[in-house]
């Protein structure tokens, strides 16, 4: 399969006032292939969110290149969309309006944007909630809105930054399963998923491959293929190993 995304020698330093620069990422080389579910594991504060924001083009790197479909990206990456741990919904907008934001950059009529967003709400299990406000929803439903807003633009790569971490155990499990099913059954056109997590079990349950980051500065210290058949059973010796 071809490479959708390629990171070459990515470095990130933050300037700290009255102190020496803090180096967060160093020498990150990473490829995401078409059809791949990649988990990025690392300790808290190691630079995972920074890495994802660089992939999305939301912040610039301090060195190295990000390429999407073989072309270097400067600015927002057109092939990705992001789901945040904190949901990052706009409280004054309805569920439908929040999802429609995912189409803001697309040249489509307002009517088409609405129709597309309604279809996505159906896919993520929010049919009938289009006029609700985020505060009227449970955490799991809020994150479904977050996922819908990302999916509506039909990104090649879905970036998920600890997207299940803020949810209770059962809600997180349902959402993981629903997302995996949408992706495995090709009910969404998303080709690849990059999931940032600090949960080893979550990575082994969902991903085809995991890379592990060290911290201070973060660099990739391990690359592990997870070729267990799906759906995976957490109680098998292979899973536990
Ligand atoms: P993770 O997502 O792995 O928990 P982050 O990518 O959020 O880690 O942060 C990595 C490190 O970079 C942390 O030490 C954090 O304080 C620092 N950092 C993140 N953003 C900034 C910023 N805008 N300015 C200065 N330091 C930052
Ligand atoms: Mg983070």
Atom 1 of ligand 1: nearest residue by CA position: 45
Q: Determine the distance separating the centroid of ligand 1 and the alpha carbon of 202, expressed in angstroms.
A: 22
Q: Determine the distance separating the centroid of ligand 1 and the alpha carbon of 45, expressed in angstroms.
A: 6
Pick from 10, 12, 50, 85 the residue to mutate for probing ligand 1's pocket: most ligand atoms within 8 Å of its CB. 50
The residues near 234 (Cβ < 8 Å, ≥ 6 apart) are 201, 205, 240
Alpha-helix runs per DSSP H in the chain: 48-56, 95-100, 110-123, 139-151, 169-184, 200-206, 237-240
What are the φ/ψ torsions at residue 159 (nearest 5 degrees)? -100, 125
Please tell me if the CB atom of residue 215 comes closer than 6 angstroms to any atom of ligand 1: no
Contact 158, 194 (CB under 8 A): yes
**ω into residue 231 within 30 of 0, thus cis?**
yes
The residues near 92 (Cβ < 8 Å, ≥ 6 apart) are 133
Label residues 200-236 b or e (16+ Cβ within 10 Å = b).
eebbbbbbbbbbbbeeebbbbeeeeebeeeeeeeeee
Please tell me if the CB atom of residue 12 comes closer than 6 angstroms to any atom of ligand 1: no
Rounded CA-CA distance 50/60 in Å is: 10
- Provide the whole-model pTM: 0.97
Helix (H) or strand (E) holding 83: strand 80-83
pLDDT tens by residue, 5-56: 999 999 999 998 888 899 999 999 999 999 999 999 999 999 999 999 999 9
Label residues 54-87 b or e (16+ Cβ within 10 Å = b).
bbbbeeebbebebbbeeeebeeebebbbbbbbeb
Give the pLDDT band (50/70/90) at residue 215: confident
Atom 20 of ligand 1: nearest residue by CA position: 50
What are the φ/ψ torsions at residue 80 (nearest 5 degrees)? -125, 160
Q: Determine the distance separating the centroid of ligand 1 and the alpha carbon of 155, expressed in angstroms.
A: 26
pLDDT tens by residue, 180-213: 999 999 999 999 999 999 899 999 999 999 999 9
Contact 56, 49 (CB under 8 A): no
Atom 4 of ligand 1: nearest residue by CA position: 45
Contact 28, 219 (CB under 8 A): yes
Ligand 1 nearest atom to the CA of residue 51, by list position: 6
pLDDT tens by residue, 218-239: 999 999 999 999 999 999 999 9
Please tell me if the CB atom of residue 50 comes closer than 6 angstroms to any atom of ligand 1: yes
pLDDT tens by residue, 127-149: 999 999 999 999 999 999 999 99
Please tell me if the CB atom of residue 45 comes closer than 6 angstroms to any atom of ligand 1: yes
Q: What is the pLDDT of residue 1?
A: 84
Contact 12, 24 (CB under 8 A): yes
Contact 129, 137 (CB under 8 A): yes
Q: What is the pLDDT of residue 19?
A: 87
The residues near 56 (Cβ < 8 Å, ≥ 6 apart) are 76, 77, 80, 82, 159
Rounded CA-CA distance 5/115 in Å is: 30
Please tell me if the CB atom of residue 44 comes closer than 6 angstroms to any atom of ligand 1: yes
């Amino acid at each position: 399969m071809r490479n959708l995304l390629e990171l070459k020698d990515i470095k990130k330093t933050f300037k700290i006032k009255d102190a020496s620069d803090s180096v967060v990422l160093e020498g990150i080389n990473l490829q995401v292939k078409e059809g791949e579910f990649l988990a990025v594991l690392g300790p808290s504060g190691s630079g995972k969110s920074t890495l994802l924001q660089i992939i999305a083009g939301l912040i610039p790197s301090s060195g190295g290149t990000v390429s999407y479909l073989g072309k270097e990206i400067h600015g927002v990456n057109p092939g990705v969309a992001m789901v945040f741990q904190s949901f990052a919904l706009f409280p004054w907008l309805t569920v439908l309006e929040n999802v429609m934001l995912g189409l803001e950059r697309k040249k489509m009529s307002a009517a088409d944007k609405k129709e597309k967003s309604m279809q996505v709400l159906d896919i993520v299990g929010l049919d009938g909630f289009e006029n609700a406000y985020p505060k009227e929803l449970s955490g799991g439903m809020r994150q479904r809105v977050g996922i819908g807003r990302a999916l509506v633009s039909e990104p090649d790569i879905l970036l998920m930054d600890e997207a299940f971490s803020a949810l209770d155990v059962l809600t997180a499990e349902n959402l993981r399963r629903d997302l995996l099913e949408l992706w495995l059954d090709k009910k969404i056109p998303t080709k690849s998923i990059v999931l940032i997590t600090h949960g080893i079990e979550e990575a082994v349950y969902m991903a085809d491959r995991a890379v592990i980051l060290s911290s201070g500065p973060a660099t990739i210290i391990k690359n592990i293929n997870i070729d267990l058949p799906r759906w995976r059973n957490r109680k098998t010796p292979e899973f536990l190993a």
